Structure formats: C-alpha cells, structure tokens
Amino acid sequence: MSEFFPMIKKVCYEGKQSKNPFSFKYYDAERIIDGKPMKEHLKFALSWWHTLCAEGGDPFGSGTIDRTYGGLKDPMKIAYAKVDAGFEFMSKLGIEYFCFHDADIAPAGENFSQTKKNFWEIVDYIRSKTEETNIKLLWGTANCFNAPRYMHGAGTSCNAHSFAYAAAQIKNALEATVKLGGKGYVFWGGREGYETLLNTDMALELDNMAKLMKMSVEYGRKIGFDGDFYIEPKPKEPTKHQYDFDSATVLGFLRKYGLDKDFKLNIEANHATLAGHTFEHELTVARINNAFGSIDANSGDPLLGWDTDQFPTNVYSATLCMLEVIRAGGFTNGGLNFDAKVRRGSFTFEDIVHAYISGMDTFALGLIKAYEIIEDGRIDEFVKKRYSSYNDGIGKEIRQGSASLESLEEYILGNDKVVMESGRQEYLEAVLNNIIFG
Ligand code: XUL
Ligand code: CO
C-alpha cells in the first residue's frame, strides 16, 4: 500500500516553543483539562469531501489539486485509495473521527443499483479500517444537492421523483452510518430553498421536507440508529433563500413539525457569518434551546461574501466557540468536524497536514483559553451582577411569573426613577484580551 503522507510519521505535541512544522504547539491530546483529556473535549473529525476529494476548482478555473492518488484512472481504485490516504492521515495526526457524504466515498454508477453496489463495497472497506484502528465515524450524510435531478431541491423539490431518489440515498447513507457506528446523521439542505417565489409553493415544500425527515427518523430508529439527527443551518448558497437559514429558523421548523426530540443542530462557523451572525451567536441559540449538537469548524473571509470553507485559525473565535461548548456541557454525540479545505494554491498533500495541525492547535488554544475565562470568573461574575435586579423584589416577581401589568404599574407609581448601569463592553473586551494574550 502506498504512503500518501511520507512527510510525517506521527504528529506529536511539542509545545509552543517548537519550530517543527509537523508538531502540535498547543494540542496535547492526553492533557487532562477539567477531568477529561483534550481529545475528548475536542473530538476532531476529518471531512472526507474537502480533505480527500476537493480539487480546488472555483467559478473561474478548474481544479489545481491532483486527487487521483498517484494517477489512478478507475474511480473505484481512487475510492479505495482515498480510504487508505484518509486512514493514514487520521492515524498520523491522532484524529479519531471522520464525516462523509455518500457521494464522497464512492463514485456514482450508471444506475442506482450500481451506485449502491459501489457505495457498499467502499463502506465495507472503511468498516474494516475502523476495526483495525480506533477511528470512528462521527456523522454521515447524503449528498442530495449535486446531481441535476436535484436542480429544484430534494426534499423540497416540485418533482416527487427527485424526492423519492433523495429518500433512497438517505436510506443507504443512514444504514452505512449505523454500520460504521456513527452517532450522528446530518441534513444540510443543499438545494432546499428557492430562487423565486413566483414558481414556489413554500407551504408544500416545507411540509415535504419535514416528511422526509420524519421518514428518516422512523427508519433510523428501526435499524438501530440511537444517535442524533442534525440540521446544519445555512442562509444562502446555493439557493437565494435556504429554508435552514439560521439556528432560530431551524428551531421554529423543528418545533412546528414535532421533530425537535430527534434533531439537534450542527453549527458551521462560516454559515453563521453568511447569516449575519457570529459563530458564538448561533451556538448560544442552539445551547439555550437544548439543541446544541455538533460543529463544522471552519472560517470564512471577511472580505469575501461566500462560503470559503477555510481552516479555522482565529483564536478569538475558537475561544468563544469552546466557551459555548463547555457551557452546553461538552460534546456528547457530536464533535468538531473540519469542514474546511486548503486554498487553491495550496495543492500539495503537505498543505493538508499544515492545515489540520493549524486548525487543531487553534481549537486546542481555544479550549485552554475558554477554561481560563471560566476560572478567571470576571466575565461570568459581571453578567451575573448585571441581571441581579431580578434576584429579589419586583425583579424576582417578574422572573417567577407572578408580576402583572397592574402590579408593575403600582410599583412604578411609587418608584419612577430608574437607575441605569453601564454595560461595560470595552472593559469586558479588555478582560478577554488580557486572558487570551496574558
Ligand atoms: C455545505 C456544507 C456541507 C455540510 C454537509 O456548505 O457545509 O458540507 O456540512 O452536507
Ligand atoms: Co458543513
């Protein structure tokens, strides 16, 4: 079997003073933080599609990255090579999880039954690899957005035949998720939205999407899937309006259709940016609604308005993200999937190694700094104090639900001078800097 990443043996933690590019500076997998090794706090996962398949094409140019694994021509041989390369890479970096779309792991055949055969042949091969290693599936999904049959959507298509095809794909992807021991199954509505309301029956489309999700839950539970279903919010791209716009929109949808018991959210950093939110906003909305599930860790570019899926290197953002993860009680079935790809000009296998090391170190630092914020206590203490007027008196009555408009008017008639306090944003930002750089 060929070695695809000969530049590395095992990537180890060497500490921040190390200049070895093939070492972790902050990610020390076994270091115990708050009773758990770092690797369990972070649960890093490799994204099959970007890491093993992405060829660097963009709207203005074709691929720059050779993903033929040594010039292979037969798509099935390439699919096998991806498994070998993926497992070699994960073993060398100490990554214990991966995520896939059905379409990334095996090529489509001439008809559905051939596609299915190809898919299961590779799933079996992946399974043999998971048995030889400690690498597991984090989540699986079906790609119901690429093929022309999904031009009008999949679950929200105007064409029932497209809907049925998506259902058939999801059935197999779910079975594979179970077979590979995955505890998550993602719905990302890649074409679930509309371009113009002039040709769209929004009510029917949303009802149908919910039906597809219900069928998936029913089938998943029947075949022994006891993990979480996730929706991954994204506001635009590819359609002008995506139904899964952001966390709040998705929560409304899940509740309307009674799907909120089985579904949680898979929050992606750059999707939050595209929705006009911060990453931590989306995570907070998920957490306070008990819907925090998993994370697609990447970043966008503030100067570009599309989904650039870059590797995350922003320590501020990773810190605020990990603070939310800790507040949510940590990952259970979810983890940190690097839904990120190297830039078009970074076309060598070595670039993938640098990208993952940098992403993993960024989140390791984020985890360390998030715990420092908690231990420091200044920020939490400030927030607690900021709302202390709700601890007693009229505030307590409001909080407990015993106040009414009449009782509050009565109160105001006797106390109409409202004393205000500063929100101290600049002070809190200085505290954050002090902790991150201190
Ligand atoms: C697309 C995206 C997907 C999902 C899974 O923007 O993020 O790769 O993570 O379909
Ligand atoms: Co994603």
| pLDDT tens column, 325-379 | 999 999 999 999 999 999 999 999 999 999 999 999 999 999 999 999 999 999 9
Ligand closest to the CA atom of residue 187: 1
Average pLDDT over residues 291-312: 96
Q: Which residues pair with 296 in a beta bridge?
A: 268, 337
**368 and 386 share a domain?**
no
| Residues contacting residue 200 through CB under 8 Å, at least 6 positions apart | 194
Q: Where are the alpha helices (DSSP H) in 223-265?
A: 247-256
Closest CA to 247 of 205, 208, 290: 290
**361 and 413 share a domain?**
no
Number of domains, the chain = 2
Given a cut of 80, whether residue 67 has pLDDT beyond it is: yes
**401 and 255 share a domain?**
no
pLDDT attached to residue 51? 98
pLDDT attached to residue 321? 98
Does residue 29 lie within any of the structural domains? yes
**266 and 312 share a domain?**
yes
Per DSSP, the three-state class of 304 is coil
Rounded to whole angstroms, the Cα distance separating 32 from 75 reads 43
CA dist 225 → 63, 131, 140, 210, 254 (Å):
37, 19, 12, 19, 19
pLDDT attached to residue 18? 98
**212 and 347 share a domain?**
yes
**81 and 199 share a domain?**
yes
pLDDT attached to residue 74? 98
**417 and 333 share a domain?**
no
pLDDT attached to residue 149? 98
Residue 186 near ligand 1, beta carbon < 6 Å:
yes
Residue 295 and residue 254 in contact, taking contact as beta carbons nearer than 8 Å:
no
Residue 309 near ligand 1, beta carbon < 6 Å:
no
Boundary residue ending a domain (376, 395, 416) = 376
Among protein residues, the one with the nearest Cα to ligand 1's atom 7 is 339
**218 and 275 share a domain?**
yes
**359 and 433 share a domain?**
no
CA dist 337 → 79, 250, 340, 391 (Å):
21, 20, 9, 40
pLDDT attached to residue 153? 98
Question: Counting atoms of ligand 1 from 1, which one is nearest the CA of 145?
Answer: 10
Boundary residue ending a domain (341, 376, 411) = 376
Percentage of the chain with pLDDT > 90? 99
**387 and 431 share a domain?**
yes
Strands in 103-172 per DSSP E:
136-141
**387 and 324 share a domain?**
no
Region of residue 168 (phi > 0: left; psi between -120 and 50: alpha; otherwise: beta): alpha
Domain with residue 139: its CATH number is 3.20.20.150
Does residue 5 lie within any of the structural domains? no
Region of residue 329 (phi > 0: left; psi between -120 and 50: alpha; otherwise: beta): left
**300 and 402 share a domain?**
no
H/E run at residue 362: helix 349-376
Distance 401 CA to ligand 2 centre (A): 40
Cβ count near 97 (within 10 Å):
21
Substitution candidate for ligand 1 out of 52, 234, 244, 311 with most atoms within 8 A of CB: 234
First to last CA, the chain: 47
Cβ count near 64 (within 10 Å):
14
At 246, the pLDDT band (50, 70, 90 cuts) reads very high
Task: Provide the residue range defining the domain that includes 66.
Answer: 12-376
At 305, the pLDDT band (50, 70, 90 cuts) reads confident
Closest CA to 351 of 75, 57, 8, 77: 8
Residues in the chain: 438
Q: Sign of the CA dihedral 171, 231, 139, 151?
A: positive
CA dist 290 → 34, 47, 248, 285, 325 (Å):
22, 25, 12, 9, 12
pLDDT attached to residue 240? 94
Given a cut of 80, whether residue 1 has pLDDT beyond it is: no
Does residue 27 lie within any of the structural domains? yes
Distance 408 CA to ligand 1 centre (A): 49
Average pLDDT over residues 313-331: 98
Q: Catalytic residue numbers?
A: 101, 104
Average pLDDT over residues 417-423: 98
Residue 307 near ligand 1, beta carbon < 6 Å:
yes
Question: Counting atoms of ligand 1 from 1, which one is nearest the CA of 143?
Answer: 10
Closest CA to 100 of 201, 39, 188, 21: 188
Residue 165 and residue 149 in contact, taking contact as beta carbons nearer than 8 Å:
yes
Average pLDDT over residues 111-115: 98
- Which residue has 């929705």 as its token pair? 275
Boundary residue ending a domain (350, 376, 402) = 376
Average pLDDT over residues 153-176: 98
